[in-house]
Amino acid sequence: MRVLSHHIAIRIIENEHDRLSAVIQGMQHFVRAINKGKKAPDPKVFRAMLVYISEYPQKVHHPKEDQYLFARLRQRTNRINQTLEELESQHKQGESQLCALELALTQYELEGAAAFQSFFDMVETHAKFHSDHMGLEEDVVLPAAIKFLTQDDWAVINAQFAANADPLAGSGYKESLDKLFALIVNIAPAPIGRGPAT
């Protein structure tokens, strides 16, 4: 559920969720194509997706949620503490899940069909994990933020999230991630990306 808000941080969070969803759908498309016996996309596409998630959602998006959005919310209300704890715990699981996915991909490349089912199941589980996580943030955390945060809180949070989105603010880091996302979109097959359908 999307909230209506003029705060740039909320628009950026929703936009970053859309990008993460697109990448995860690309991962699902990858394993579902193999499962249906279609030509498998190049594994480098899947690895580019893992790198994107590791470099942006994991290193930038989640930490900013923890440090600014969640931290300020805890100062203003205790009504959603349990949800915040759950989300913070999920943020911490992200890196190990990415390692497990890369291992499962490598095993599939080495062993072929024998290792496919566990790789497939892991991708589907990972997709649900992210979808539930972002849904909880959009359905519970963002509405609570609009309700409880002060103008001063928003000034800090908006500035922090806007810094993510400003390519001139960094040292080319954001630009290189945008290029990586564009690469994923260009090589991932339709309907997720703009590459040839498989």
Residue 31 or 142: the one with the smaller Cβ distance to Fe ion is: 142
Name which of residues 146 to 185 contact Fe ion (CB under 5 A).
none
Q: How far is the CB of 164 from Fe ion (least distance, A)?
A: 12
CA-to-CA distance for 115 and 104, rounded, in angstroms?
8
- From the list 113-121, 130-138, 163-171, 184-192, the region that binds Fe ion by CB under 5 A is 130-138
* Window contacting Fe ion (CB under 5 A); options: 55-63, 109-117, 160-168, 189-197: 55-63
Q: Applying CB under 5 A, what is the total number of residues that bind Fe ion?
A: 3
83 or 198: CB nearest Fe ion: 83
Q: Which region, judged by CB under 5 A, interacts with Fe ion, from 44-52, 95-103, 107-115, 134-142?
A: 134-142
Per-residue binding string, Fe ion, 77-116, x by CB under 5 A, is: ----------------------------------------
Residues 6 or more apart whose CB falls under 8 angstroms from that of 118 comprise 104, 107
- Which of 19, 29 has the CB closer to Fe ion? 19
Please, what sign has the CA dihedral across residues 134, 146, 14, 1?
Answer: positive
Of 10, 80, 137, 187, which lies in the binding site for Fe ion, with binding defined by CB under 5 A? 137
Q: Is there a contact between 104 and 118 (Cβ–Cβ < 8 Å)?
A: yes
* Closest to Fe ion by CB, 119 or 174: 174
Which structure tokens are listed for 193? 């990306």
What is the rounded distance in angstroms from the CA atom of residue 85 to the CA atom of residue 7? 24
**Any bridge partners for residue 195, and if so which?**
189
Return the range that interacts with Fe ion (CB under 5 A); candidates 54-62, 140-148, 153-161, 164-172. 54-62
Footprint on this chain of Fe ion (rule: CB under 5 A): 62, 65, 137
